[in-house]
Chains A and B, each alone.
Chain A
């Protein structure tokens, strides 16, 4: 099993550009999540989707939008990238009351 797959792995954007980070899981998990991790810090939740068709804001949602395309896929969109959004982005999925499975991350630099 591939688990959680994130694309791209690396990206450099100019301020004001837009992009979509893709995430797909093949474990039939109901819930999916997007986190960001700044250097030397723990992960902070951006958005999550408890089930197909639902999305909710996390701790730091400003500047982001999400789409739960189907049960497998959960995308994160930056409409107008800012240098403060330079970070490593992790997607995760889970079943209720079980552990999360994380992807390997997308390293985004906004210049």
Chain B
């Protein structure tokens, strides 16, 4: 499986945008980029995924670099409820299982 690299931790202030980076230099053409988050004492929660084009949904936006070797999850206005571990995961189009790394611990300051 292709590997992703994320910072161990990031901090943000409430109501400010947050940009969570992910590097995946060995991504293949059939890999989707998935993002999940895990709030304290809960199971992971699907956030967003994309293949080549930028994607938006009610939770976040996903910006994918033109060469697809990196991506950024964007939370437009962070709230205290967004404090969580965010995982960037590659999954190929055959629907292979998800392999979790250590993710980025996001702290949101009031």
A, B bound: yes
Given contacts A42-B100, A42-B103, A44-B100, contact A31 B44 (CB under 8 A): no
Find out whether the CB atom of B44 lies under 8 angstroms from the CB atom of A43: yes
Chain B residue contacts of A100, Cβ below 8 A: 36, 44, 46, 98
Chain A residue contacts of B98, Cβ below 8 A: 33, 45, 100
* Total A-B pairs, Cβ < 8 A: 50
Q: How far is the CA of A96 from the CA of B87 in the complex (A)?
A: 19
Chain A residue contacts of B99, Cβ below 8 A: 45, 59
Interface residue tally on B, bucketed by range: 20 to 34
Find out whether the CB atom of B43 lies under 8 angstroms from the CB atom of A103: yes
Q: How far is the CA of A97 from the CA of B44 in the complex (A)?
A: 17
Find out whether the CB atom of A99 lies under 8 angstroms from the CB atom of B97: no
Does any Cβ of B come within 8 Å of A87's Cβ? no
Does any Cβ of A come within 8 Å of B11's Cβ? no
CB distance from B9 to the nearest CB of A (A): 12
A residues in contact (CB < 8 Å) with B: 4, 31, 33, 35, 41-45, 48, 50, 58-59, 90, 92, 94, 96-97, 99-105
